[in-house]
Chain A
């Protein structure tokens, strides 16, 4: 594959994630760990595929904190290590990361953080740069796929010099973009981990803070000379755009559209933190108007303005435009959502008082007018055959049968869609991985104040290992009264079917010592049961029976992810017997297509009957079980 090509100088097409992986290989990385999280999940997946060839250890860890701790261990021995996570995952790792910055590292250690402006596949658009600054870690931001590789490689060198981890902060539009990448030379260093009795990596002295500040000063000094900061435009520009990340590309494109490319300078910051102060001051002293282009938080804006304030007597009067001033704003407001060339063009036209003819792209309203009836609306939906849909139907049914108006809590995964129609609006809370279990523990102790409703919390199998176990221990210890439903689809489906400790394979496909969740639950002495969500009636009964119990208890609803289950296999054929289907007369108003609402259950308006979209259907057969007319037929393949 592209990331393995040996010849330096050759150009290949890579995604940003693949490019990061290539950069790590060129740096001679020895140890890579991650917990899956979009937009960066593919970095480790890419490395896993070539681990054998490069004598590389690659691990899917149980959570981001553990991943970082493992990578740090490799670094402590002098090996180069990489840890990859999304911004939410950095929150998980924060406790260790803040201590690690103080203790320092030895071998080069790079932390790749994937931010997700506009929340394409996250619950929030979190800007991790402020966290990394608080951690006292250097932050580099690639603006292109090529830079993703080059920065990752160089970050190992900087980290090794400073003996401090370096963050490469990459946003979705870079991680998932494809670009032409010129490759560098691969290295295969000899690896001799050294960590003897006399070695100490301890976070215990005020002096470490002083040393950390010195490391950052050195990073700042080097930043001003860094290849990754670049300027284009006139000499001594009075009008300047300072941009970081892909916003730098957007700025160049926007200025070109406005015809201002010759008159406005663009300073691209790659080494976002610490600021390249000397470099910045050099350009600020000639500038009278400065525009900041960056996504989400005004991180560069705030820090550069603070820098300028400290040098006001040298710089004179400068007018700053950005999120703070409200000038750089997208449709949702300043600092909300992604930028794009169009948004920036509108902002710059306003700031520089340049006529702007308007968008070259259609607005969504115009698109709607043009496409009108030809483009149906689409809502978020679980995949056809998703066992979570069957689980949600069973839980919802069981709660109604129980009649006590029980509450249902959730967290993050594919099953987050339990908050919308496809999940029958079942879930009532949604925060971060495993939070539902902790909240259930709290609700489960409020009986002393008169709260007596049944409490159910839903957690995925991967999240069970990631974050739910401590909350279950706490519940057992404190005798909290709730039911935890583990939706075990036997994979980390949402981010691309990565394995986890409950499975029998590792990231590189080798054998694993499986950690069965049943054994953990038994070890906690918590009662549990197992049911197949495709067997809807049995699952309804299982939920109802368990609702009658008290104390902490667990129900495992186990069925392989429908997409994983049908990979490379022949699907069951499911179709509607039109002689039995009663169409609109169905007493429930088209139960299968309107209410159960699997994407494969569609309505044939011409015939007034339900139909199965065979291209979409994964053959689970749950709709056949639920059809009140028994009109849906499943022809099972021989397994």
Chain B
């Protein structure tokens, strides 16, 4: 089990860090600033929790499926799932909530019902997001709104655990979901990670790519001091609303600011979350909601009973579009010149999974 030195050389300095944040706050030597994760001092230890929980090291897709769900997946596009729906918050949405506001509603519900003691998520503005720990439903609503720069949210998880909290919920990007699941598999040197029930709920977000902090310079240059109200990346390209109007770019304009690590990521839909939520890119009033685990199913049922969200059947004509998008992403990764199985930043894909990806991708393509 390697440690900090390899994490620094292979991942952080190797440009493969997607800033999930779970290595931040484990010790005094790994810190974050403006969403950049840095090693500030060598610890000299041969083994480290920081390396173990990193989602860019030693990730085997098949092993993760078995560890989290107790079985292997059949659907290579969407991973293990019990159901997929269009969903949206019922009643008043939180101001600033993106699309259907489902993530916010679910996290707030879990807090109100005492299912979790706190929710670790990303707060702040679109141009100044930061990790946050919400202890009340109101605090969850205050964090609504999608952020597109990769924020090391899980640093806040470490802080909460160190403060003695357990039974937490996490809202995160696919890499953050993977990191938390790695953490939950236990047998790690850090004492706080071996607390049973540290994390009780994992809500995952769809994410095809996150942006590096350099995007802030681009953004401030473009909007020239105007206050950023909201940012979105719909099908027809990124858009930012400011106090003075809207700015629109093509996806190619943002490509230089995509984390290099995201080019090697095989999971755009938080495949190991209890519930995964994304945009529909079809009807802006609705979210895509994927139920993956029994716990996710229970939470969804509770939400329906309480009337905080409503769902409808995922439109049959839209499902192939989503599947094609995710399979395209995976095929791009597997075809990337930098992808070599077992290499730092490159997840291990079992042969059977790889065969199924190609087979299913061929099927959808037609």
Within 8 A of A (CB), among B1-57: 25-29, 31-34, 36, 38-41, 43-45, 48-49
Q: In the complex, which residue of chain B has the Cβ closest to the Cβ of A630?
A: B162
B28 touches A591 (CB 8 A): yes
B190 within 8 A of A: yes
Taken together as a complex, chains A and B put the C-alpha atoms of A544 and B41 apart, in Å, by: 17
Residue of A396, A589, A630 near B40 (CB, 8 A) is: A396
Within 8 A of B (CB), among A530-564: 540-541, 544
B27 touches A587 (CB 8 A): yes
Interface string of A604-639 (1 = CB under 8 A from B): 000000000000000000000010111000000000
Residue of B28, B32, B38, B162 near A588 (CB, 8 A) is: B28
B191 touches A401 (CB 8 A): no
In the complex, what residues of A have CB within 8 A of residue B189's CB? 585, 587
Taken together as a complex, chains A and B put the C-alpha atoms of A212 and B162 apart, in Å, by: 76
In the complex, what residues of B have CB within 8 A of residue A505's CB? none
Taken together as a complex, chains A and B put the C-alpha atoms of A582 and B194 apart, in Å, by: 14
Interface residue tally on B, bucketed by range: 20 to 34
In the complex, what residues of B have CB within 8 A of residue A397's CB? 31, 40-41
Interface string of A87-98 (1 = CB under 8 A from B): 000000000000
Pick the most buried of A587, A596, A630: most chain B CB atoms within 10 A of its CB: A587
Size of the chain A interface, CB-CB below 8 angstroms? 23
Taken together as a complex, chains A and B put the C-alpha atoms of A628 and B24 apart, in Å, by: 11
B191 touches A589 (CB 8 A): no
In the complex, what residues of B have CB within 8 A of residue A314's CB? none
A370 within 8 A of B: no
Q: In the complex, which residue of chain A has the Cβ closest to the Cβ of B13?
A: A403
A628 touches B28 (CB 8 A): yes
Residue of B41, B162, B190 near A595 (CB, 8 A) is: B41
In the complex, what residues of B have CB within 8 A of residue A424's CB? 41
> Known contacts being A585-B189, A589-B45, is A403 close to B40, with CB within 8 Å?
no
Nearest CB on B from A188, distance (A) = 61
A400 touches B40 (CB 8 A): yes
Q: In the complex, which residue of chain A has the Cβ closest to the Cβ of B33?
A: A401
> Known contacts being A544-B33, A591-B27, A595-B28, is A400 close to B38, with CB within 8 Å?
yes
In the complex, what residues of B have CB within 8 A of residue A586's CB? 27
Nearest CB on B from A339, distance (A) = 43
Nearest CB on A from B19, distance (A) = 13
Q: In the complex, which residue of chain A has the Cβ closest to the Cβ of B37?
A: A401
B41 touches A401 (CB 8 A): no
Within 8 A of B (CB), among A557-603: 582, 585-589, 591, 595-596
In the complex, what residues of A have CB within 8 A of residue B41's CB? 396-397, 400, 424, 595
In the complex, what residues of A have CB within 8 A of residue B39's CB? 400
Interface of B is mostly: loop
In the complex, what residues of B have CB within 8 A of residue A544's CB? 33-34
In the complex, what residues of B have CB within 8 A of residue A540's CB? 33
Q: In the complex, which residue of chain B has the Cβ closest to the Cβ of A595?
A: B41
Q: In the complex, which residue of chain B has the Cβ closest to the Cβ of A585?
A: B191
A587 touches B40 (CB 8 A): no
Interface string of A430-450 (1 = CB under 8 A from B): 000000000000000000000
B190 touches A403 (CB 8 A): no
Nearest CB on A from B163, distance (A) = 9
In the complex, what residues of B have CB within 8 A of residue A401's CB? 31-33, 36, 38, 40
In the complex, what residues of B have CB within 8 A of residue A582's CB? 191
In the complex, what residues of B have CB within 8 A of residue A396's CB? 40-41
Q: In the complex, which residue of chain B has the Cβ closest to the Cβ of A629?
A: B162
Nearest CB on B from A619, distance (A) = 21
Taken together as a complex, chains A and B put the C-alpha atoms of A400 and B25 apart, in Å, by: 15
Nearest CB on B from A408, distance (A) = 14
B45 touches A403 (CB 8 A): no
In the complex, what residues of B have CB within 8 A of residue A629's CB? 162
Taken together as a complex, chains A and B put the C-alpha atoms of A630 and B34 apart, in Å, by: 24
Nearest CB on A from B35, distance (A) = 11
> Known contacts being A396-B40, A397-B40, A403-B36, is A626 close to B45, with CB within 8 Å?
no
Q: In the complex, which residue of chain B has the Cβ closest to the Cβ of A396?
A: B40
Q: In the complex, which residue of chain B has the Cβ closest to the Cβ of A586?
A: B27
Nearest CB on B from A271, distance (A) = 56
In the complex, what residues of B have CB within 8 A of residue A585's CB? 189, 191
Nearest CB on A from B217, distance (A) = 10
Nearest CB on A from B283, distance (A) = 42
> Known contacts being A400-B38, A587-B190, is A626 close to B43, with CB within 8 Å?
no
In the complex, what residues of A have CB within 8 A of residue B25's CB? 628
A587 touches B36 (CB 8 A): no
In the complex, what residues of A have CB within 8 A of residue B40's CB? 396-397, 400-401
Interface string of A395-430 (1 = CB under 8 A from B): 011001111000000000000000000001000000
Q: In the complex, which residue of chain B has the Cβ closest to the Cβ of A399?
A: B40
Nearest CB on A from B128, distance (A) = 14
Taken together as a complex, chains A and B put the C-alpha atoms of A544 and B32 apart, in Å, by: 11
B36 touches A589 (CB 8 A): no
Nearest CB on B from A186, distance (A) = 59
In the complex, what residues of A have CB within 8 A of residue B34's CB? 544
A589 touches B28 (CB 8 A): no
Nearest CB on A from B9, distance (A) = 14
B31 touches A587 (CB 8 A): no
Nearest CB on B from A518, distance (A) = 26
Taken together as a complex, chains A and B put the C-alpha atoms of A630 and B191 apart, in Å, by: 14
A589 touches B49 (CB 8 A): no
Q: In the complex, which residue of chain A has the Cβ closest to the Cβ of B163?
A: A630
Taken together as a complex, chains A and B put the C-alpha atoms of A251 and B92 apart, in Å, by: 97
In the complex, what residues of A have CB within 8 A of residue B44's CB? 589
Within 8 A of B (CB), among A63-117: none
In the complex, what residues of A have CB within 8 A of residue B26's CB? 587, 628
Pick the most buried of A401, A403, A626: most chain B CB atoms within 10 A of its CB: A401
B27 touches A588 (CB 8 A): yes
Taken together as a complex, chains A and B put the C-alpha atoms of A585 and B48 apart, in Å, by: 11
Within 8 A of B (CB), among A239-260: none
Taken together as a complex, chains A and B put the C-alpha atoms of A585 and B28 apart, in Å, by: 14
In the complex, what residues of B have CB within 8 A of residue A630's CB? 162
In the complex, what residues of A have CB within 8 A of residue B32's CB? 401
In the complex, what residues of B have CB within 8 A of residue A628's CB? 25-28, 162
Taken together as a complex, chains A and B put the C-alpha atoms of A544 and B27 apart, in Å, by: 20
Taken together as a complex, chains A and B put the C-alpha atoms of A544 and B34 apart, in Å, by: 10
Taken together as a complex, chains A and B put the C-alpha atoms of A111 and B77 apart, in Å, by: 86
Within 8 A of B (CB), among A174-203: none
Q: Show 6 residue pairs from A and B whose CB-CB distance is below 8 angstroms, ordered by the A residue.
A: A397-B41, A400-B31, A401-B38, A540-B33, A587-B49, A588-B27
Q: What are the 10 tightest A-B residue pairs by CB atom distance, in nearest-first order?
A: A400-B40, A587-B27, A401-B33, A588-B27, A397-B40, A401-B38, A400-B38, A588-B43, A591-B28, A628-B28
Beyond A397-B41, A400-B41, 20 additional pairs, beta carbon < 8 A: A397-B40, A400-B39, A401-B33, A401-B38, A403-B36, A540-B33, A544-B33, A544-B34, A582-B191, A587-B45, A587-B48, A587-B49, A587-B190, A588-B27, A588-B29, A589-B43, A596-B28, A626-B28, A628-B26, A630-B162
